[in-house]
Amino acid sequence: MFKEFKEFALKGNVVDLAVGIMIGGAFGTIVNSLVNDILMPPIGLAIGGADFSDLFAVLREGVRPGPYASLAEAKAAGAITMNVGVFINAVITFVIVAFALFSIVKAMNVARRQQATAPPAPPTDTKDQLLLGEIRDLLRARV
């Protein structure tokens, strides 16, 4: 059973998948930072200067009644909230990741099509054929 698992784990597809998952996780972290730290602050500034991730609606007040200045304060008070800003951040992150993956897959498909339509290289002569050609040329030169 260990031998079968070893054969499975060392196949190229499994290793490629593992590498893809690791790169995808790192890419997701970068995109989250892009959305939360670069894109959302100017959008939040444009809609009134608030932190965009703090856009929320209180569904039920917590132990300490509102209003709450931030989402963290509402959560600390035990309020039940609908986190609109966090959801919008997640949607924007998804759209960026989906577009990046679409671009990568499209580029790979174009490369595959170009590779498939490229004419095969003409066969080159082997060492034996080259040597026989030289012998033939030397014999012709003698006559």
Instruction: Identify the CATH number of the domain in which residue 114 sits.
Output: 1.10.1200.120
Look at the chain and count its residues.
143
Query: Considering the entire predicted model, what is its pTM?
Result: 0.58
What string of pLDDT tens digits covers the 143 residues of the chain?
Answer: 778 777 776 666 677 777 778 888 888 888 888 887 888 788 777 777 666 777 888 888 888 887 888 888 888 888 989 988 888 888 888 888 888 888 888 888 888 787 777 677 777 888 888 888 999 999 998 87
Domain count, the chain: 1
CA angle 92, 97, 102 (to 5 degrees): 125
What's the 3-state SS for 40-74? Answer: HHHHHHHCCCCCHHHCCEEEECCCCCCCCCCHHHH
The CA dihedral of 26, 27, 31, 34, to the nearest 10 degrees, is: 70
Residue 49 backbone phi and psi in degrees, to 5 = 85, 5
Domain range for 110: 2-142
